[in-house]
Structure 1
Amino acid sequence: MNSLSPWALLAGTDLAKAEKPLFSIDYQNFLFQVFMTIDSLWISTTLPGKILCNFRCAYSPGGFTVSDEHTSESGITLILNTVYGRQTVAILVDTQKPVPVLRYITTLKPKADLVIPYWPKDMLFTAQTRISENSTGKIHASQWGTRTGFIYMSPTRPKAAPLLYLQNLSAISAYCEQTETSLGDTVGGEWPELGFSLPASKKPLKAGKEVTISDAFIAFGTVIPKTEAEVMTCYLDLLARIYLLMPLPDTQYKPWPEILQNGLKDLTESPGCWSQVAGHKYFNAYVSDYDTPPEIMVQLAILLPLLDYVEWSGTKLEVMQTIKEGLPDFYNEKLGTIMRWLPAAEDKLKGEEEQKMPMVMDSWYLHHPLLNLSRLALKGDKIAKALFLNSLPFAIRVARHFKYIWPVFYKMDTLEVIKAETAEGKGGEKDVAGLYAHVMLQAFELTKERKYLTEAEHAAKTLKGYGFDIFYQANNTAFSAGALLRLFKITGNKDYLGLSYMCLASIFRNTQLWDCNYGYGKNFPKFFALYPLNDAPYTAAYEEQEVFCAIHDYLKHAEGVEILPSVKLLLAEFIRYVVDRSVYYYPPMLPPDMLEEDPKTGEVDPKLWIALEDLQDGWLKSGTVGQEVYGAGNAFGILPRHYLRIPGRDFMVYVDYPIADLNAVKGKPVSFSVLGSSELECRMMLVKTGRSKIPEIEISINGQKHPAKGKKVTGGNQEFKIPGDCSINLKFT
Structure 2
Amino acid sequence: MNASPWFWNTKAALHLPDLIPVYKTTAGNYDFKIYDLGDSCWLVARWPDGNQIAFRLAYSPNDRLQITIKERKNDLRLKIGSLLGDYEVVLTLPTENRPVLHYTTRLTPASTLLSPYWPRDIVPLGSGESESMAEGQIHTRQVGTRSGQLYFSMNQPKAGSVLYLQNLTALAGYNQQTETSAGDSVGGEWPEIGFGLPPTIKNKPLAAGKSYTLSDAFIVFSEEVPDDEAAMAQQYLNLLAEVYLALPKPATNYTHWPDILGKGLKDLIDSPGCWVQLDGHHYFNAYVSDYVTPPEIMVQLAVLLPLLDYVEWSGAELEVMKKVKASLPSFYSEKYSTIMRWHPKAADTLEGEEEQKQPLVMDSWYLHHPLLNLSRLALKGDKVARKLFLDSLEFSIRVAHHFDYKWPVFYKVDTLEVVKAETQPGKGGEKDVPGLFAHVMLQAWELTGEKRYLTEAEKAAMHLRGQGFDLFYQANNTAFSAGAMLRLYKITKKEIYRQLSYLCLAGVFNNVKLWDCDYGYGKNFPTFFALFPLNDAPYTAVYEEQEVFCALHDYLRNAQDIEILPSVRLLITEYVRYLVDRAAYYYPTMLPKEMLQEKPKIGEVDPNLWIALEDLHDGWEKSGQVGQEVYGAGNAFGILPRHYIRIPDQPFMVFTDYPLYRFSTRKQDYLHVRMAGDNRIDCRLMVVKTGPGKLPGVEVHINHKPIHGKKSKGGHFEYLIPGNAEITISWK
3-state secondary structure, aligned to 1:200: coil
Counterpart in the other structure of 1:48: 48
Q: How does 1:529-678 map to 2 (within 5 A)?
A: 529-678=530-679
Kindly state the Cα deviation for residue 706 of structure 1 after the two structures are TM-superposed.
2.5
Counterpart in the other structure of 2:107: 108
Counterpart in the other structure of 1:147: 146
Q: How does 1:92-491 map to 2 (within 5 A)?
A: 92-97=92-97, 100-129=99-128, 133-201=132-200, 202-491=203-492
Q: Which amino acid aligns with 1:118?
A: Y
3-state secondary structure, aligned to 2:159: coil
Counterpart in the other structure of 2:729: 730
Q: How does 1:704-719 map to 2 (within 5 A)?
A: 704-707=704-707, 709-719=708-718
Kindly state the Cα deviation for residue 664 of structure 1 after the two structures are TM-superposed.
2.5
Kindly state the Cα deviation for residue 69 of structure 1 after the two structures are TM-superposed.
2.7
Kindly state the Cα deviation for residue 132 of structure 1 after the two structures are TM-superposed.
6.0
Find the aligned partners of 1:507 and 1:193 in 2 and give their Cα distance: 26
CA displacement 1:647-666 (0-9 Å, x = unmatched):
12100010000012210355
Find the aligned partners of 2:666 and 2:239 in 1 and give their Cα distance: 42
CA contact (8 A) 2:294 2:346 kept: yes
CA displacement 1:633-688 (0-9 Å, x = unmatched):
00000000000111121000100000122103552310110101000000111110
CA displacement 1:150-195 (0-9 Å, x = unmatched):
1110111111222101000000011000000001100011111110
CA contact (8 A) 1:410 1:417 kept: yes
CA contact (8 A) 2:47 2:223 kept: no
Kindly state the Cα deviation for residue 222 of structure 1 after the two structures are TM-superposed.
2.8
Q: Which amino acid aligns with 1:718?
A: F
Q: Evaluate the alpha carbon distance shift between residue 161 and residue 245 of structure 1 in structure 2; reply closer, same or farther with a 3 A threshold.
A: same
Q: Evaluate the alpha carbon distance shift between residue 381 and residue 655 of structure 1 in structure 2; reply closer, same or farther with a 3 A threshold.
A: same
Find the aligned partners of 2:621 and 2:130 in 1 and give their Cα distance: 43
CA displacement 1:511-547 (0-9 Å, x = unmatched):
0000000100000000000000000000000000000
CA contact (8 A) 1:677 1:723 kept: yes
Find the aligned partners of 1:73 and 1:261 in 2 and give their Cα distance: 53
Find the aligned partners of 1:633 and 1:649 in 2 and give their Cα distance: 27
3-state secondary structure, aligned to 1:462: helix
Q: Which amino acid aligns with 1:87?
A: Y
Find the aligned partners of 2:262 and 2:137 in 1 and give their Cα distance: 50
Find the aligned partners of 1:24 and 1:544 in 2 and give their Cα distance: 46
CA contact (8 A) 2:141 2:150 kept: yes
Counterpart in the other structure of 1:519: 520
Q: Which amino acid aligns with 2:689?
A: K
Q: Evaluate the alpha carbon distance shift between residue 338 and residue 600 of structure 1 in structure 2; reply closer, same or farther with a 3 A threshold.
A: same
Q: Which amino acid aligns with 1:14?
A: A
Q: Which amino acid aligns with 1:399?
A: A
Q: Evaluate the alpha carbon distance shift between residue 63 and residue 490 of structure 1 in structure 2; reply closer, same or farther with a 3 A threshold.
A: same
Kindly state the Cα deviation for residue 63 of structure 1 after the two structures are TM-superposed.
3.0
TM-score (norm 2): 0.98
Kindly state the Cα deviation for residue 31 of structure 1 after the two structures are TM-superposed.
1.2
Deviating more after overlay: 114-123 vs 365-374: 114-123
CA contact (8 A) 1:39 1:62 kept: yes
CA displacement 1:68-112 (0-9 Å, x = unmatched):
431146542111111121110011112124x83211100011122
Q: Evaluate the alpha carbon distance shift between residue 669 and residue 418 of structure 1 in structure 2; reply closer, same or farther with a 3 A threshold.
A: same
Find the aligned partners of 1:25 and 1:528 in 2 and give their Cα distance: 35
Find the aligned partners of 2:126 and 2:413 in 1 and give their Cα distance: 56
Kindly state the Cα deviation for residue 345 of structure 1 after the two structures are TM-superposed.
0.6
Q: Which amino acid aligns with 1:27?
A: A
Find the aligned partners of 1:160 and 1:191 in 2 and give their Cα distance: 16
Find the aligned partners of 1:63 and 1:683 in 2 and give their Cα distance: 51
3-state secondary structure, aligned to 2:158: coil
Find the aligned partners of 2:126 and 2:691 in 1 and give their Cα distance: 69
CA contact (8 A) 2:169 2:517 kept: yes
Deviating more after overlay: 5-14 vs 451-460: 5-14
Find the aligned partners of 1:105 and 1:330 in 2 and give their Cα distance: 57
Deviating more after overlay: 60-69 vs 83-92: 60-69
Deviating more after overlay: 44-53 vs 416-425: 44-53
Kindly state the Cα deviation for residue 21 of structure 1 after the two structures are TM-superposed.
2.0
CA contact (8 A) 1:62 1:83 kept: no
Find the aligned partners of 2:451 and 2:128 in 1 and give their Cα distance: 61
Q: Which amino acid aligns with 1:200?
A: P
Kindly state the Cα deviation for residue 67 of structure 1 after the two structures are TM-superposed.
6.2
CA contact (8 A) 1:125 1:132 kept: no
Deviating more after overlay: 495-504 vs 113-122: 113-122
Find the aligned partners of 1:65 and 1:282 in 2 and give their Cα distance: 68
Q: Which amino acid aligns with 1:489?
A: K
Kindly state the Cα deviation for residue 8 of structure 1 after the two structures are TM-superposed.
1.1
Find the aligned partners of 1:445 and 1:228 in 2 and give their Cα distance: 30
Find the aligned partners of 2:588 and 2:406 in 1 and give their Cα distance: 39
CA RMSD of superposed structures (Å)? 1.3
Q: Which amino acid aligns with 2:610?
A: W
Is 1:82 aligned with 2:109?
Answer: no
CA displacement 1:110-136 (0-9 Å, x = unmatched):
122111111111100113348863221
CA contact (8 A) 1:66 1:78 kept: no
Find the aligned partners of 1:42 and 1:125 in 2 and give their Cα distance: 12
Q: How many percent identity over aligned positions?
A: 58
Q: Evaluate the alpha carbon distance shift between residue 300 and residue 132 of structure 1 in structure 2; reply closer, same or farther with a 3 A threshold.
A: farther
CA contact (8 A) 2:614 2:627 kept: yes
CA displacement 1:561-617 (0-9 Å, x = unmatched):
111000000000000000000000000100001000111100011111101010000
Which blocks of at least 5 consecutive residues in structure 1 are unaligned?
none
Find the aligned partners of 2:131 and 2:413 in 1 and give their Cα distance: 55
Find the aligned partners of 2:102 and 2:712 in 1 and give their Cα distance: 36
Kindly state the Cα deviation for residue 65 of structure 1 after the two structures are TM-superposed.
4.1
Which blocks of at least 5 consecutive residues in structure 2 are unaligned?
none
CA contact (8 A) 1:15 1:130 kept: no
CA contact (8 A) 1:474 1:533 kept: yes
Q: Evaluate the alpha carbon distance shift between residue 595 and residue 131 of structure 1 in structure 2; reply closer, same or farther with a 3 A threshold.
A: farther
Find the aligned partners of 1:665 and 1:127 in 2 and give their Cα distance: 62
Q: Which amino acid aligns with 1:591?
A: P
Find the aligned partners of 2:151 and 2:8 in 1 and give their Cα distance: 24
Q: Evaluate the alpha carbon distance shift between residue 455 and residue 86 of structure 1 in structure 2; reply closer, same or farther with a 3 A threshold.
A: same
TM-score (norm 1): 0.98
CA displacement 1:281-300 (0-9 Å, x = unmatched):
10000000000000000000
Kindly state the Cα deviation for residue 7 of structure 1 after the two structures are TM-superposed.
1.0
Find the aligned partners of 1:69 and 1:476 in 2 and give their Cα distance: 51
Kindly state the Cα deviation for residue 237 of structure 1 after the two structures are TM-superposed.
0.4
3-state secondary structure, aligned to 1:344: coil
Kindly state the Cα deviation for residue 731 of structure 1 after the two structures are TM-superposed.
1.2
Find the aligned partners of 1:391 and 1:420 in 2 and give their Cα distance: 23
Q: Which amino acid aligns with 1:301?
A: A
CA contact (8 A) 2:407 2:431 kept: yes
CA contact (8 A) 2:89 2:104 kept: yes
